[in-house]
Structure 1
Amino acid sequence: MGIGLRALVLASALVASPAMADEQQFDLICNFGKTPIRYRIDAAIGQACEQDCSRIWKMGPVTSGDMTLMDTTGTPGEVQQTIVINRLTGKLRHWIRGLDGPLTEEATCSAAPFSGFPPAKF
């Protein structure tokens, strides 16, 4: 095998490595006071869910500093809310537009192994 082909095979193996998938798939355990909430995140496909994943949603923008887990501010018929985590500090900010005005709650999060999404029924 020539050097060029060997380099190509090695590069392909690195791109598809499970370690890289692990960096894109993880859970966050976020403590809102004494109440922990688990978020399941697959940044590779841009999806996330909360707790038992009764609903899996499309994530918003992801940068090296922030990860938008949910943004329904432009979605008609949805409760207007955003969930953004600071990837550098682990601080989560959840903003909800309520009937009596906006509500903001904050949490401190830590990473945990990805627990997966439930299987689809169809």
Structure 2
Amino acid sequence: MMRAIAFLAVTLATPGMAADQFDLVCVSKTQTVRYRVDLAKGEACSDSCDRVWKMGEATTGELRLIDKRPDYRGDLEERSVVSRQSGEWHYDMSMSGSSSSRDGKCDPAPFSGFPAAKF
């Protein structure tokens, strides 16, 4: 009986937990980026996930994935804003006084996880 209750609790909790963790595959005319997102932790990373960062605001309407690196080659900041309804994606990058941007579309994908922590 206890096993059945424990199994049921885990099974019912899984969909809610899965909604908080997902990948976004974002495609523009010139680039494809895969973001790994954990809404519960407020963390994200991109592509090979060399670095996990605190993401920006997440609302029902949009996600803001903001990566600021003031010590990297002249104050690098990358900003992605994704509509959670349409999947529309806007990306801006600024560094050392120059900037670039692109627009595209994002689709959700299964969460591929963050790299294992050493400590």
TM-score (norm 1): 0.76
* 2:81 matches 1:84: yes
Q: Percent identity?
A: 36
Alignment deviations for residues 48-86 of structure 1 (CA, whole Å, 9 cap, x no partner): 1001110001011111111111153xx643413311111
Instruction: State the match for 2:13 in structure 1.
Output: 17
Instruction: State the match for 1:121 in structure 2.
Output: 118
Residue 76 of structure 2 aligns to a residue whose secondary structure is coil
Alignment deviations for residues 65-112 of structure 1 (CA, whole Å, 9 cap, x no partner): 11111153xx64341331111111101111122456432111211011
1:13-52 paired onto structure 2 within 5 Å: 13=9, 17-33=13-29, 35-52=31-48
CA RMSD of aligned residues (A): 2.2
- 2: CA distance, partners of 1:33 / 1:109: 12
Structure 1 portions without partners, runs of 5+: 1-8
- 2: CA distance, partners of 1:34 / 1:79: 20
Structure 2 portions without partners, runs of 5+: none
TM-score (norm 2): 0.78
- 2: CA distance, partners of 1:51 / 1:76: 21
- 2: CA distance, partners of 1:38 / 1:84: 14
| CA apart distance, 1:34 | 5.5
- Count of matched residue positions in the alignment of Structure 1 and Structure 2: 108
- 2: CA distance, partners of 1:98 / 1:117: 26
